[in-house]
A and B are shown apart, each in its own frame.
Chain A
Amino acid sequence: MNPHLSFAELNARERVTQLLDPDSFCEILGPAARTVSPHLALLGVPYAFDDGVVIGSGLLQGHPVLIAAQEGRFMGGGVGEVHGAKLVGILQRALQVRPAAVLVLAESGGVRLHEANAGLIAVSEVMRAVLDVRAAGIPVVMLIGGANGCFGGMGLIARCADHVVMSDQARMSMSGPEVIESSHGVEEFDSRDRALVWRTTGGKHRFLMGDCDWLVEDDLEAFRGLAIELLGQSKVLTLQSLLEEQQMLTDRIVEVGECDEAIEIWRRLGVQSPDQVAGMDVEQLRVLMASRAEANS
């Protein structure tokens, strides 16, 4: 195994082949199938032979899994008609073949504007497909570590999965900082303030809030290790679990809903030195979360 491979620096196909057991990946509708977006061609925009998403089957520590990986370097991982249908297809396939998990390596700005209507509908179709797979007791695991983050519709899909894993460099939210800035001005959200962007949408904040379940280094082996750990770990949604989620989300607004800044939120959550979180490494954050969980129990 490679000593250290940056997840963020690899492209989608490399991530898939490195994450799975060697030579086990079997791609479905790969580039040779030329399943391209007809809409981009009409608009005179470059298209990709895989429409920016790699899907297929493989083995993880010997266990069969299905996998999908979005290519952030193609249209920011944006979801169009074909791209979205490939995601729906691989999820529906899981209901037939019952893998030990469906792994989704999400990297996307959300709906692809060039085919926005199709992308919007596709996002809701993917959500329903994810929830079908979950309901069947097959875990859907989101692995988020690409440079483009996981935004818009893909941020919604991520939060429908059983497990969300992020690297400390990754970002996840609904609207991107640029969209908020263009709508409400630089005073609302300065999208060029990298530290602010990371405090608001980054993996560390999401981990401290509990919006991602696991935080890892930007290391492919770390993602692989967690994916192995989560094989077969299904969290079926029930009325009880959603009532608990409702209560937690309600409490969150009461407890930190007035905060304007992540640092203030972390302070209220009981983090001792919230201004030092930005400099902490993943291990320190895990210890922090573990001690908080202990304090709350």
Chain B
Amino acid sequence: MNWQALSLALFGESHAITRTGDVIYGTAQLGPALTIAVVGTADHAAIGVETALAQARFVLDTVASHPGRPILLLVDTQGQRLRRRDELLGLNRYMAHLGCCVDLARRSGHRIVGLVYDQALSGGFITSGLMADACYAVPEAEIRVMRIPAMSRVTKISEDLLQALSLTNPVFAPGVANYVAMGGIQALWSGDLKQGLLDALAAPNTVDTRATLGAERGGRALAASVIQQVLAA
């Protein structure tokens, strides 16, 4: 889905979301008295220093000028930008800064909803959608770190074995359902996207419950219990 179609599906004509480069941002009306700030990337953007910084700017401006206004983080990314120049400039610091801004917004009382509306590959959404109170996805979204053939080449494990295991174990294979099972994606929004957003905003969620969700759903059997064991030791 492209960002225009998504904006239309979420907000009808009641939005002023625009695009500058790879970054989309603006505000939308969810009701007569409910404005939401929207920021993200479009067209499978590679997350470089500028892309991360522009999103951080918008989040900080929202915190500074519109206390409490909910924020929707829209994810469509091919991953971090794989250029030497971005690494020279400290891409990890730029991306982490975005994550810190999202975290500050939450602590300042903003509800933060993430939505993977197209692609979320590799590290591209760790510091945006995955730093939200909860991250959602549309059913046709594509989420992965690496495809199985590439993973087979790097790990030297046969493709057949990986394919077979991927049917029952969600921890490595591509697919949005795997991320739901592991608690990384809270839920899929199908049909009425606006209702999905309203429901997400209504669900208080400032504590990170993803490990527990992953255990309940059977996709991450161990993470929650390991955390508990460390706390109880």
Contact check, B161 vs A43: say whether CB atoms are below 8 A apart: yes
**Given the complex, which residues of A lie within 8 Å of B157, measured CB to CB?**
43-45, 114
Q: Contacts of B82 on A, CB cut-off 8 Å?
A: 175, 179-180, 183-184
CB pair B99 A237 closer than 8 Å: no
Residue of A nearest to B85 (CB): A260
Q: A43-B157, A124-B131 are in contact. Are A249 and B53 (CB under 8 A)?
A: yes
> A121 touching B130 by the CB < 8 A rule?
yes
Distance in Å from the Cβ of B227 to the closest Cβ of chain A?
4
Question: Of the 9-residue stretches A7-15, A148-156, A226-234, which lies at the interface with chain B?
Answer: A148-156
Residues in A neighbouring B1, C-beta threshold 8 A: none
A192 CB–B CB distance under 8 Å:
no
Decide yes or no whether B6 CB sits under 8 A from chain A.
Answer: no
Q: Which residue from chain B places its CB closest to the CB of A206 in the assembled complex?
A: B90
Q: Per a CB cutoff under 8 Å, which of A38, A86, A127, A158 touches B230?
A: A86
Chain B CB count within 10 A is highest, among A96, A118, A189, A211, for A118
In the complex, A256→B88 CA distance in Å? Answer: 10
Is B57 interfacial (CB-CB < 8 Å)?
yes
B232 to A: closest C-beta gap in Å: 9
The docked-state distance in angstroms from the alpha carbon of A242 to that of B172 is 34
Check: A272 CB closer than 8 A to any chain B CB.
no
- Does A128 sit within 8 A of B, measured CB to CB? yes
In this complex, what residue of A is CB-closest to B94? A249
* Residues of chain B within 8 A of A82, CB atoms compared: 222-223, 226
Given contacts A38-B221, A124-B131, contact A92 B227 (CB under 8 A): yes
Which residues from chain B contact A123 at a C-beta distance below 8 Å? Answer: 123, 126
What is the minimal beta-carbon distance from B147 to any residue of chain A, in angstroms? 11
Q: Once the chains are docked, how many angstroms separate the CA of A129 from the CA of B230? A: 14
CB distance from B185 to the nearest CB of A (A): 9
A195 within 8 A of B: no
Contact of A46 with B by CB under 8 A: no
Total contacts A to B, CB within 8 angstroms? 249
Q: Which residue of B lies closest to A154 (CB)?
A: B92
Enumerate chain A residues within 8 angstroms of B146, measured Cβ to Cβ.
113, 116
* Known pairs A200-B88, A249-B93; A113 contacts B230 (CB<8 A): no
Q: Mark B104-139, 1 if CB is under 8 A from A, else 0.
A: 100110000000000000110011001100000000
Q: Is A278 an interface residue (CB 8 A)?
A: no
Task: Tell me if B99 and A127 are in contact (CB < 8 A).
Answer: yes
Q: Across the interface, which residues of B come within 8 angstroms of A179, CB to CB? A: 82
Are A29 and B226 in contact (CB-based, < 8 A)? yes
Which B88-102 residues have a C-beta within 8 angstroms of A? Answer: 88-97, 99-101
Q: Does B74 make an interface contact (CB < 8 A)?
A: no
A245 at the interface (CB under 8 A from B): yes
- Bound together, the chains give a CA A110 to CA B131 distance in angstroms of 17
Which residue on B lies nearest to A156, using beta carbons?
A: B96
Residue from A85, A175, A257 within 8 A of B227 (CB atoms): A85
Closest CB of chain B to A4's CB: distance in Å?
A: 30
A28, CB-defined interface residue at 8 Å: yes
Minimum CB distance partner of A35 in chain B? B226
Q: Contact mask A27-59 → B, CB, 8 Å, 1/0?
A: 011000101001100111100000000010000
Residues of A within 8 A of B88 (CB): 200, 205, 259, 261-262, 265
Residue interface bits A261-277, CB-to-B below 8 A is 1, else 0: 11001000000000000
Minimum CB–CB distance for B81 against chain A, Å:
8
Cβ-based interface call for B16 (8 A): no
How would residues 70 to 106 of chain A score, 1 for a CB under 8 Å from any chain B CB and 0 otherwise?
A: 0000000000111011101110110010000000000
Top 8 A-B pairs, shortest CB-CB distance: A89-B230, A159-B96, A155-B92, A116-B145, A124-B130, A85-B226, A121-B184, A85-B223
Binding site for B on A (CB under 8 A): 28-29, 33, 35, 38-39, 42-45, 55, 80-82, 84-86, 88-90, 92-93, 96, 110-111, 113-125, 127-129, 131, 135, 152-153, 155-160, 172-175, 177, 179-180, 183-184, 188-189, 200-201, 205-206, 209, 211, 237-239, 242-243, 245-246, 249-250, 252-253, 256-257, 259-262, 265
Known: A188-B83, A246-B56. 14 other contacts (CB 8 A): A89-B231, A96-B231, A113-B172, A121-B220, A125-B208, A125-B223, A127-B103, A128-B208, A129-B208, A131-B99, A175-B82, A180-B83, A237-B104, A249-B94
20 A-B pairs, CB-CB below 8 angstroms? A89-B228, A90-B230, A93-B231, A113-B172, A121-B179, A121-B182, A127-B99, A131-B103, A155-B92, A155-B96, A158-B96, A172-B92, A174-B123, A175-B80, A175-B91, A209-B90, A237-B100, A249-B97, A253-B89, A257-B89
Question: Which B residues lie at the A interface, using CB under 8 A?
Answer: 49-50, 53, 56-57, 60, 63-64, 80, 82-97, 99-101, 103-104, 107-108, 122-123, 126-127, 130-131, 144-146, 151, 154-155, 157, 161-162, 165, 169-173, 178-179, 182-184, 208, 210-211, 214, 220-224, 226-231, 233
